[in-house]
């Protein structure tokens, strides 16, 4: 009896050990590139040209961060303007998130809860717009933006980003609204609440987690966007962080320390947000994708 138990226990223990060992290469694959990114951002340019590389910087310093956040005369032009591009990214992503949440949740409520003609057509149309590549929107939008004179402004990015953010927000919010039991709403309406009253007093408060998830996804997508920003912004007035990072690679020189430091700074806001709200991220992934 005692022997049997210890044999079982050993088998169990070995099994757990094998499973644990299997997680190690995955963790290494996740963290080694990040470690190298962070190490590069704290190394000097000279140290980065060591062969073989210094895996751990011998003189780690935050000088690169100082250079980007408080650039001196010797900084590359991209490094000098990096702070402004961070600000542009923040303005654009926040505005897109706010507009998508307000307009999107109203539309999503109507599509999820109110029966009317063309409802299904609109829903499918919205899903279809999510499949349209940015590249097939960009030429007319460019011509239009230059005619109105909003090229190189955050405005043009906010409007063009709505082309993917708004359908996405509607789709995700509709999925959340559909999970709310209809009885709740019927009860409120019998008590004399109007549609709009029910929406704001009953539905919205319950849907707060859905709003958080949707807001997070929209913000992260807008922060990540590169193609529209590359086409529509060529000056510092509206250039966003991804464009700035791509520009660290000049025609002849690559400002590697600037690129890596800028990369860490650009990755920090979305990574911190995603970690802080990880439960909402997973919920959003499942609600938005695995439906029905």
Partner 1 sequence: MATLATTVKPMGANARRFNLRRQDTIVGWLLIAPSLIIILGVTLQPVLSTLYLSFFDASTSVNLPRTFIGLDNYTNLLQDPVFWQTIGRTMYFMVTSVGLELIVGIGIAQLIHTRPPGWKFLRISLIIPWAVPTIVNGAMWGWIYNGDYGALNGLLYQLGVINKYIPWLIDPARAMNLVILADIWHTVPFVALIIQAALAGLPAELDEAAAVDGASAWDRFWQIRLPLLRPAILVALIIRSVEAFRVFDIVYVITHGGPAFGTVTISYLTYQETFSYGHLGRGAALSFLVSIFTLGIAFIYIRYVYRPGEGA
**How far apart are alpha carbons 156 and 149 in whole angstroms?**
9
**How far apart are alpha carbons 280 and 50 in whole angstroms?**
43
Q: What are phi and psi of 251, to 5 degrees?
A: -70, -35
Judged by CB under 8 A, the residue of 77, 119, 201, 235 near partner 1 is 119
**How far apart are alpha carbons 100 and 214 in whole angstroms?**
9
Q: Which residues, other chains included, contact 227 with Cβ-Cβ below 8 Å and sequence gap of 6+? A: 134, 135, 138
193 contributes a contact to partner 1 by CB under 8 A: no
Judged by CB under 8 A, the residue of 68, 79, 101, 107 near partner 1 is 107
- CB burial of 154-183 (b: ≥16 within 10 Å; e: otherwise) equals bbbbbbbbbbbbbbbbbbbbbbbbeebeee
**How far apart are alpha carbons 154 and 98 in whole angstroms?**
14
Q: Is 128 exposed, middle or buried (0-12, 13-18, 19+ CB in 10 A)?
A: exposed
Which of these ranges, 61-69, 78-86, 201-209, 279-287, lies near partner 1 under the rule CB under 8 A? 279-287
227 contributes a contact to partner 1 by CB under 8 A: yes
Q: Which residues, other chains included, contact 153 with Cβ-Cβ below 8 Å and sequence gap of 6+? A: 237, 238
Residues 256-275 that bind partner 1 (CB under 8 A): 256, 259-260, 263, 266-267, 270-271, 273-275
User: Minimal distance in Å, beta carbon 5 to partner 1?
Assistant: 20
Which of these ranges, 58-66, 76-84, 203-211, 281-289, lies near partner 1 under the rule CB under 8 A? 281-289
Which of these ranges, 1-9, 60-68, 71-79, 223-231, lies near partner 1 under the rule CB under 8 A? 223-231
**How far apart are alpha carbons 74 and 41 in whole angstroms?**
17
12 contributes a contact to partner 1 by CB under 8 A: no
Which of these ranges, 60-68, 71-79, 206-214, 284-292, lies near partner 1 under the rule CB under 8 A? 284-292
Residues 67-106 that bind partner 1 (CB under 8 A): 99, 103-104, 106
**How far apart are alpha carbons 17 and 67 in whole angstroms?**
46
26 contributes a contact to partner 1 by CB under 8 A: yes
116 contributes a contact to partner 1 by CB under 8 A: yes
214 contributes a contact to partner 1 by CB under 8 A: no
Which of these ranges, 2-10, 71-79, 200-208, 227-235, lies near partner 1 under the rule CB under 8 A? 227-235
Q: How many positions of this chain bind partner 1 (CB under 8 A)?
A: 97
Helices (H) and strands (E) in the chain — how many of each?
Answer: 15, 0
53 contributes a contact to partner 1 by CB under 8 A: yes
Judged by CB under 8 A, the residue of 135, 187, 208, 237 near partner 1 is 135
Nearer to partner 1, 72 or 140 (CB): 140
**How far apart are alpha carbons 180 and 279 in whole angstroms?**
19
220 contributes a contact to partner 1 by CB under 8 A: yes
156 contributes a contact to partner 1 by CB under 8 A: no
248 contributes a contact to partner 1 by CB under 8 A: yes
**How far apart are alpha carbons 165 and 101 in whole angstroms?**
9
242 contributes a contact to partner 1 by CB under 8 A: yes
Which of these ranges, 79-87, 163-171, 179-187, 202-210, lies near partner 1 under the rule CB under 8 A? 163-171
Cα distances from 26 to residues 15, 38, 120, 167, 268, in angstroms, run 18, 19, 42, 34, 22
């Amino acid at each position: 009896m005692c022997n049997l138990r210890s044999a079982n226990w050993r088998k169990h223990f070995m099994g757990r050990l094998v499973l644990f060992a299997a997680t190690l290469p995955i963790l290494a694959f996740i963290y080694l590139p990040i470690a190298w990114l962070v190490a590069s951002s704290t190394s000097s340019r000279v140290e980065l040209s060591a062969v073989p590389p210094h895996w751990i910087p011998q003189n780690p310093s935050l000088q690169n961060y100082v250079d980007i956040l408080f650039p001196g005369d010797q900084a590359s032009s991209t490094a000098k303007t990096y702070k402004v591009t961070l600000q542009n990214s923040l303005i654009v992503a926040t505005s897109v998130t706010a507009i998508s949440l307000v307009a999107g949740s109203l539309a999503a409520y109507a599509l999820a809860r109110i029966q009317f003609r063309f409802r299904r057509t609109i829903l499918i149309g919205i899903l279809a717009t999510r499949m349209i590549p940015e590249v097939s929107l960009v030429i007319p939008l460019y011509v239009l933006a230059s005619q109105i004179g909003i090229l190189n402004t955050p405005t043009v990015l906010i409007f063009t980003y709505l082309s993917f953010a708004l359908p996405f927000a509607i789709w995700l919010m509709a999925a959340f609204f559909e999970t709310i039991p209809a009885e709740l709403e019927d009860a409120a309406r019998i008590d004399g609440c109007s549609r709009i009253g029910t929406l704001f007093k009953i539905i919205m408060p319950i849907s707060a987690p859905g709003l958080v998830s949707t807001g997070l996804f929209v913000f992260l997508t807008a922060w990540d966007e590169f193609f529209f920003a590359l086409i529509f912004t060529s000056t510092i007035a509206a250039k966003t962080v991804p464009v700035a990072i791509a520009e660290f690679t000049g025609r002849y020189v690559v400002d590697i320390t600037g690129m890596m430091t800028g990369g860490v700074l650009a990755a920090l806001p979305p990574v911190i947000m995603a970690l802080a709200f990880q439960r909402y991220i997973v919920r959003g992934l499942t609600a938005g994708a695995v439906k029905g």
